[in-house]
Amino acid sequence: MTFFRYIARRVLFTIPILLGITLVSFLIANAVPADPINVNLPQSQLNNPEIVAAFRAEWGLDKSPLDQYLTYLGNLVQGNLGRSIKTRQLVADDIARFLPATIELATNATVLGILLGVGLGVASAVWRNHWIDFLARTMAVIGVSVPVFVLALVFLSVFHAQLGIAAGPGRLDFTMDEPAMVTGLFTIDSLAAGRMDIFINAVAHLVLPSIVLALYVAGLISRVTRSAMLEVLGMDYMRTARAKGVREIIVIMRHGLSNAMIPILTVIGLSYGNLLAGAVLTESIFAWPGIGRYMFRASTSQDFPAIMGVSLLIALIYVVVNLVVDLLYYFVDPRLRAN
Amino acid sequence: MKKVRLLVLVLAIAVIATGITSAQDETVLVVGHAESTDSLDPARGYTQTKDIIDHVIYENLVTFPQADASEILPMLATDWAISEDGLSYTFNLASGPVFSDGSPITADDVVFSVNRLKYVQGSPSFLAADIAGVTADDEDTVTFTLSQPNPAFLANLANTAFGIVNADVVRENGGTDAEDAATTDTAETYLNSMSAGSGPYVLESWEPQVETVLVRNSNYTGDAPYFDRIIITNIPEAATQKVALESGEIDLALDLTSDQIVALEGNPEITIYRGPGNIVHFLLMNANPDVGGPMADPLVQKAVRLSLDYEGYVALWGGVQPGSVEFVGNAYAFTPEQGVQRNLDEARALLAEAGYADGFDVTLEYPIFTFQGVNMETNAQKIQADLAEVGINVTLSPAELQVALENYRTGAEGFGYWFWGPDVLDAVDMLAFAPGGKVAEERALWTTDMADPALNELVARARVATDPAEREEVFTGIQTMMQENSPFAPFLQPDVQTAFRADIEGYIWHPQWLLDLALLGRSM
């Protein structure tokens, strides 16, 4: 029962957090010393006071900031995120259109990153100061420190343009039709439609951007895994397990890794949230129509409703991811269950 | 081991994927473009992306030639008559063309399209602002009445905003041309997903920020285009467009930077197009002696024009020497041959006559800016060298764009270097530089009372003249007089550059619609 009360409490806590986010992003958006009129209307129309006035009225820019904020909150309570100035579509529709692409990429990259990162981290802890350790640590440093857009461009020009062994930018070949929309995840929708060709194409297009993002994620995870494992490996219970004659692989994975899991989970949660919040550069370079690109476009055109909507979404993503991570702690660590 | 397996998997997938795409037999063109539009509705969008797309899905009453804006050609209208006072334009419609649903194009469709543009108050609606009324005289005759003479009216009609829509279809989908259309017209959603025009293509789908798909209009009455299907895919990063072009994934990259184009030179699979654009680089010499100093003297201004090494700038950047402040290719603009010829002896004589036989010192202000690949710093250094030959010692004073722009716009620059892109693809655009015009009056402080009365008279006529012969006469006169006496020295109209796969044919850059997709083809 405590478990459900715990969840309920966490969910309730998100409400003030989200409210705070709306206020902060509204204040920041309004503090920018530029008029959205200048970004969204061509010069010829700026000279026409009628068009300018109509634009202000249409987007509520003629009201006081307090009125604007209250109106926004009122709409928000009814589930209305407003209409984007730039795309003139409902922000909620825009998010629904762009988020699946990001989810698909971020999830793939994170899974790949976990496999790579945890593997490397465990290996480098077990073979500490061995060449394997140095290799793994070097890879981690490279993964974390090489700017992601450099990696993305190099990968695209080498593996796609020059060697021709990887699919290029976009979620599918440009000449290929998208599968009928069900979840917005092309890998799932193509299977649902029974279109194996689209599925293969979608997977092929996921390879390069996933690897680029996964290298970064793996770099983070392997470093944390290594230090957490090193701590655990020196524990008495490890010696006890070995003394009992448990096989070394079981000692490391079950007795070692599962006890080192808490900090690793934390990093995984953070980096997954990060990728979902928009891998702006990776999405731009791979022509990946995701939420990161949408957010970038919204912020450069001072598209307030879209900025607010995406900020809320990102806050929500972090809250959910953190909640999931906390729940996983609960399963990973028996001591938490006891309390 | 894991890596090797991954590589094999990637390879296998790539092979399969290639097999699938090459199995299609229709002709497909893939264009990589940084999409920049919020609407494909002719009456609402006002962006380059919209121009490229709407140019092939809608037709206008009149149009420009394939490569420039030098004249107005008939399109849906066969011919037109302009009233003596320039306030009334009557068009006769061609009888052949039909909309993509096969229904004929009538005068009612024209009236509906124009009124809808005027009343929806979309981004391009200002183009219709001086239309007082438009009426269908009969099935195939339309008359426009203007509230004031506007010699650029025909050029405006060639804008995609005046694309003629199928009135019945648009009405059925929520469209209206009533005066309250700004609030009651709901056809934009329809026009963003389907087209209702008569151009060579129809819109199959537009997924904003992802891709636009055009397919051949089977009812098109003009020359059939080569491609069955055109996919315009949104690639916001220029570097990604370059990679996709090199790999052959796209046929045409519309947004490459000039250094990326240079990097593609020598690649046998890529063709690079270069041709004069519509931007004119010019020097501004302030006509007010308090601001311009020696530069305010018309003799000095002419000496500067005679001192510039025009061929040298063209050698640096490609392009042509503009004959005047108006870009070569616009209606009535001087050709490069009609431009000022360098003559250092005459320049020195003029300086001596103005009292500067030993030259003088002056500061050249310009922004730290590279526009369409032309680095203004490089040109400023060349200007410095050119003018040194006649004894004018130029000190360079570069500034951040916003800072320099402020000085330029407030008329505080004595000697400045800027560039100009046309607002209207008509000769009247150059009147901004003539006495009474925006650039002349506010930035060069060159007022009508300082100018030759004969020039003022020509300018007054140019603002209202609609007869081609008269326009030819007045604009020739204005350009000739401004070569002799004006505070401007236009010196370069640089090339624009585009890269595409070597098997693509028919690419022509256009100052209005950028490129005509219907002219493109693929060699065997």
Q: Place A27 in a pLDDT band, splitting at 50, 70 and 90.
A: confident
By the 8 A CB rule, do B276 and B497 touch? Answer: no
Q: Which of A89, A174, A300 to mutate to test the interface with B (most CBs of B within 10 A)?
A: A174
CATH number for the domain running over A92-226+260-338: 1.10.3720.10
Angle at B144 between CA B138 and CA B149, to 5 degrees: 155
Residue B261 inside a domain? The answer is no
**In terms of CA atoms, which chain B residue is nearest residue A157?**
B243
Q: Place A338 in a pLDDT band, splitting at 50, 70 and 90.
A: low
Residues B304, B408 within the same domain: yes
Residues B325, B390 within the same domain: yes
Q: Place A46 in a pLDDT band, splitting at 50, 70 and 90.
A: low
- Pairing mode, strands B360-367 and B392-399: parallel
* Cα–Cα distance measured from residue A38 to residue A54, given in angstroms and rounded to the nearest whole number: 14
Residue B252 inside a domain? The answer is no
Q: Tell me: the pLDDT tens digits for A92-119? A: 988 998 999 999 999 999 999 999 999 9
Q: Provide the whole-model pTM.
A: 0.83
**In terms of CA atoms, which chain B residue is nearest residue A167?**
B14
pLDDT tens-digit profile, chain B (524 residues): 444 454 455 445 544 444 444 445 789 999 999 988 889 999 998 888 999 999 999 999 999 999 999 999 999 999 999 999 999 999 999 999 999 999 999 999 999 999 999 998 888 888 998 999 999 999 999 999 999 999 999 999 999 999 999 999 999 999 999 998 888 899 999 999 999 999 999 999 998 888 999 999 999 999 999 999 999 999 988 899 999 999 999 999 998 888 889 899 999 999 999 888 999 999 999 999 999 999 999 999 999 999 999 999 999 888 999 999 999 999 999 999 999 999 999 999 999 999 999 999 999 999 998 888 889 999 999 999 999 999 999 999 999 887 888 888 889 999 999 999 887 899 999 999 999 998 999 999 999 999 999 999 999 999 999 899 999 999 999 999 999 999 999 999 999 889 999 999 999 999 999 999 999 999 97
Distance from CA of B436 to the nearest CA of A (A): 18
CATH number, residue B156: 3.90.76.10
Do A175 and B423 count as a contact with CB atoms less than 8 A apart? no
* Cα–Cα distance measured from residue A114 to residue A221, given in angstroms and rounded to the nearest whole number: 7
By the 8 A CB rule, do B392 and B362 touch? Answer: yes
* Cα–Cα distance measured from residue B457 to residue B441, given in angstroms and rounded to the nearest whole number: 16
Do A200 and B423 count as a contact with CB atoms less than 8 A apart? no
Average pLDDT over residues A16-20: 85
Residues B515, B449 within the same domain: no
Angle at B273 between CA B272 and CA B279, to 5 degrees: 130
Do B208 and A89 count as a contact with CB atoms less than 8 A apart? yes
The pLDDT value recorded for residue B15 is: 44
The one-character DSSP state at B348 is H
Residues B288, B400 within the same domain: yes
Complex ipTM, two decimals?
A: 0.79
The pLDDT value recorded for residue B413 is: 94
Number of domains in chain B: 2
**In terms of CA atoms, which chain B residue is nearest residue A168?**
B244
The pLDDT value recorded for residue B5 is: 53
Q: How many CB pairs under 8 A join A and B?
A: 113
Residues B72, B180 within the same domain: yes
Residues B489, B518 within the same domain: no
**In terms of CA atoms, which chain B residue is nearest residue A47?**
B126
The pLDDT value recorded for residue B422 is: 87
Residues B517, B390 within the same domain: no
Segment of A262-266, A333-337, B80-84 carrying the highest mean pLDDT: B80-84
Q: Domain of B197?
A: 30-221+508-522
Do A98 and B209 count as a contact with CB atoms less than 8 A apart? yes
Closest by Cα among A151, A133, A328 to A225: A133
Residues B357, B426 within the same domain: yes
CATH number, residue B343: 3.10.105.10
B→A interface, C-beta within 8 Å: 7, 10-11, 13-14, 16-17, 20-21, 24, 28, 30, 38-39, 46, 121, 123, 125-126, 182, 188, 207-211, 231, 233-237, 239-240, 243-244, 246-247, 249-250, 423
Q: What are the extents of the domains in chain A?
A: 3-77, 92-226+260-338
The pLDDT value recorded for residue B346 is: 96
The pLDDT value recorded for residue B14 is: 46
Distance from CA of B207 to the nearest CA of A (A): 10
Do A285 and B240 count as a contact with CB atoms less than 8 A apart? yes
Q: Which of B14, B126, B240 sits opposite A44 (nearest CB)?
A: B126
The pLDDT value recorded for residue B391 is: 94
Residue B234 inside a domain? The answer is no
Q: Tell me: the pLDDT tens digits for A183-197? A: 889 988 998 888 889
The pLDDT value recorded for residue A296 is: 86
Residues B79, B110 within the same domain: yes
Residues B61, B34 within the same domain: yes
Can you tell me whether residue B101 is helix, strand or coil?
coil
Residues B188, B336 within the same domain: no
Q: Place A326 in a pLDDT band, splitting at 50, 70 and 90.
A: confident
